[in-house]
Structures are given as C-alpha cells and as structure tokens.
Amino acid sequence: QAKSIAFLNVQFLNDHEGQEPTTDAERARLASIEELFKSKLEASGRYKFVQIPADTKAKIAAGPGIGHCGGCEIDYGKQLGGDLAAWVVVQKVSNLILNINVYMADVATTKMVFVQSADIRGNTDESWTRGIAYIVKNHMLTAPL
C-alpha cells in the first residue's frame, strides 16, 4: 500500500539575498520542483500526498521554519494524517553553486528516514529539474522508506 506523505514545503535559502535578491524565476522553480517531486513519487505507486488545508499552509509559512522548529514537522505530519513528513530545501550559494536537499521523517517513529542532497551547477530551470529528478530516481525510488 502506498505511504502517505505530508509534504510541508520547499524552502529557499539565498546566501546572498542582500546582494542578489531572490528572483521571480527562482520562485517559479521552487513551485516547479515541488510539482515534479510529487508527480514522480506518485507515479511510482509507492507514495501518495495528503491534502494540506489553506490554514495549515499559512501556519507553516508563518514559521518557525520546517526543519528548525523542534519537531513541528512531525506534529504537522500527524495532524495531516501522513505516514511521512517531507520537505525540500534549496540553498543558493551563488548563481553557479546551488544544492537541493530532501528530508523525510517517519511520523510514527519521529525518526528521519531520508536525507539526501544533490549539488547542482547553474541557476537554471534545467539544473533544478535535473537535481530533484536525480534524488528521486537514484535515491528515493531505489529503496523503500
């Protein structure tokens, strides 16, 4: 049976926000890799995503940040009825160096069951797409979580 995932968000850490503010293209890429992540996992038949009500999305967005909130990701996962809680963090070191990090925690055991990163070169639609697709194909779909 497919495991249910409470996908909490995609976060963007721009190391040089003051000098190079986050662009509309980067915000669009965040939405794009979230959609790609979800569609590839659902297409495998091994995972399904729970719906997150608008008020819960607003609460998540208001913070504290997922992954730095003392276990709130587990609380959200339980509240939403997920087997797993997941989130993605994209860190922009520069326009040449970025990394995509995927985190998943087992809601029942409260343990992290998946942490994987892909370094990408170039701040383009293609590099972001390749990075998230690589993690899903080569790490998430090769072994059960």
Return the HEC string of the chain: CCEEEEEEEEEEEECCCCCCCCCHHHHHHHHHHHHHHHHHHHHCCCEEECCCCHHHHHHHHHCCCCCCCCCHHHHHHHHHCCCEEEEEEEEECCCCEEEEEEEEEECCCCCEEEEEEEEEECCCHHHHHHHHHHHHHHHHCCCCC
Domain that holds residue 9: 3-140
Q: How many domains would you assign to the chain? A: 1
Looking at the whole model, is its pTM more than 0.75?
A: yes
Residue 75 is assigned to a structural domain of this protein: yes
Residue 61 in this model has a pLDDT that exceeds 90: yes
Residue 12 is assigned to a structural domain of this protein: yes
Residue 145 is assigned to a structural domain of this protein: no
> Model confidence over 89-116: pLDDT tens digits?
999 999 999 999 999 999 999 999 999 9
Which tokens is 84 given? 């797993």
Beta bridge partners of 5: 49, 84
Which tokens is 142 given? 């090769």
* Pairing status of strand 3-14 against strand 47-49: parallel
pLDDT of 18 reads 92
> Model confidence over 44-60: pLDDT tens digits?
999 999 999 999 999 99
CATH number at residue 31: 3.40.50.10610
